[in-house]
Structure 1
Amino acid sequence: MIKHAHTNRRNAGILAASIAFAVAGLNNQAHAQQVEKSSRAGSGIYEAVVNSNDGHIYVTGAGTRSTPGGAIYKINPETLAIVDSIVLKDNPPFGIGINNKTNIAYTTNTRTNSVSAVDLKNGKLLATFSNGSEKSHVREVLVDEAKNLIYVSNVGDPSDIWVIDGKTNTVLHTIENTGKTTTGLAFNDKKDKLFVTNMGTNEVAVIDLASKKVEKSFSSGGESPVNIVAEGERLFVTNQKSGTVTVLNSKTGEVLKSIPTGEGAIGIAYDKKTNKIYSANRSTGTTTVIDGKTYAVLADLATGSHPNHVKVDPKTGVAYVINKTKGGRPVEGQPAPGPDTNGDTISKIK
């Protein structure tokens, strides 16, 4: 009898543990992030910002080859419906950053080698300007809200970075020789250092903003590093050619982890609220969700034709992915491709 009682207690313990494990698994599945919805978000869309003043998503659109144009589209964060637009047809926007304190957005207008400042409160174009160079290829925008300074990467060999005064909307100065094909930009916590990705050399450069010079460079841990975000002493880098997100020590450059995501990893975002990393993978049509503690891949979500950019609302932890449309010129003698229903869309991940 004693033996049977002991066996029954052991079996009951095993059963309870199994049930607890199953329930935990179901809870994890229930809380696994999913694409809640996707919706059309404009024409030739490229990047986005979250406006903390009104809670809306602002998406840049540069039009198409056959129908050139330009606009910033205002998107409802719940329904993903376009509720308004700001026409910028003379200078079609690609990259975008925002100063939430002044409610002014800054766009990089690659086709016209310029930057535009737009008041999001009234939709007014405040200024469009450049640094005076004949050849430019402006790309990413990073804003220091406290100092009202805007940093813009200008891709080249060598590249440089424009530093813009948000009070006057003019270029204060240019940080020269930042590397070959400088694209992504990120601040350290004190905002006295700038981390930039150099696609041409597969490196991350560290720029001292006081001296306006590159202090050092180290390997990105992958091929063709495009974008970068910083969190404490960690850097998260998307490497487009190798299809990875690498985690680097921002002080030493040590590669802490290399995480396979998908071909064409390009957009990157980090959410402090949930400690998750997001990688938009242009070639695979997926967005990868990564645990910021263990670096485990939590999900690979199909979001659209060419996921290009991802932003997280810091208040809600909701991620928004910008999906480019399929490109390519018509081929003579072949029928024109049909409409891309999964491109020019914004996807909401919760």
Structure 2
Amino acid sequence: MKLASLRHGRDGRLAVVSRDLKTMLPVDRLCPSLQMALDSWSTTAPRLQEVSDALNQGTASGAIAFDAAKLASPLPRAYQWCDGSAYLNHVELVRKARNAVMPPEFLHDPLMYQGGSDDFLPPTADIAVADEAYGIDFEGEVAAITGDVPMGIDAAGAAGHIRLLMLVNDVSLRNLIPGELAKGFGFFHGKPSTAFSPVAVTPDELGDAWKDAKVCRPLVTHLNGKQFGAPDAGTDMQFSLADLIAHAAKTRNLRAGCIVGSGTVSNRDASKGFSCLAEIRMIETIENGKPTTPFMKFGDHVRIEMFDGAGKSIFGAIDQTVVKYAA
């Protein structure tokens, strides 16, 4: 099934979305919010599935037209947002661009940071930034929403706690990041509010494209109306979403509604394009000594989407424009 949150209050108003993304049905009388559904998943999910089946069969009453502009993030705020770096090609390029070697432990010990989760951007909301000099970048990713995950679980067990899947635009302010990392305490200002796809889907909606806890479809990014990249999210993924969840749960329990991201989708085959500006800039630096592709400017537009084998959108589109922040 496919779920979304209509913009309403702090936590949204839960809605079930049809498979073809043409209609949606508010179900807040059944369960007010997605977080509450996750908290009682074993009893609530079957009831939501009944609504989903009726909606897909055209027998549900009260359905309205699907409109991503009316939606918040599936989880407008979350208890936890952990973002990994599952695509080692991206990590290798980052290090190679500054003449550094990738440590061998990165092959079995994933990178991960804990991002801000109290104020996610709606999927069609503007990206408001105070200064273009911050180095504005998009990052296309996939992510899982978990149920309750016990501390110390292995990847095989973690896979069973994946409730929903989403797309991500992990907005990055690249020129702020080096100074923050130099302090030794990781990202903060360099990682502003994140955006997620309009719709979160259960893994079964992906069919054969869900394999080994990986989403095996191209992630298509357009920048200012021109295709920027379509790398396959299941290719060159060193760590599956289950691996990343197990890593996050190494020393703590994860509670229902925890979001775990894949990191920037990246393929070794550069002909597939890219999921962030930083990656093409790193290749330019390696080949020419300096980058030539600029970071985003005010007025630039990014669209991130994934399609099934028949060319139909799975999650809806993250569709955002960069604007100057006005207090």
TM interval, shorter chain, is under 0.3
Between structures 1 and 2, the one with greater helix share = 2
User: TM-score, normalised on structure 2?
Assistant: 0.24
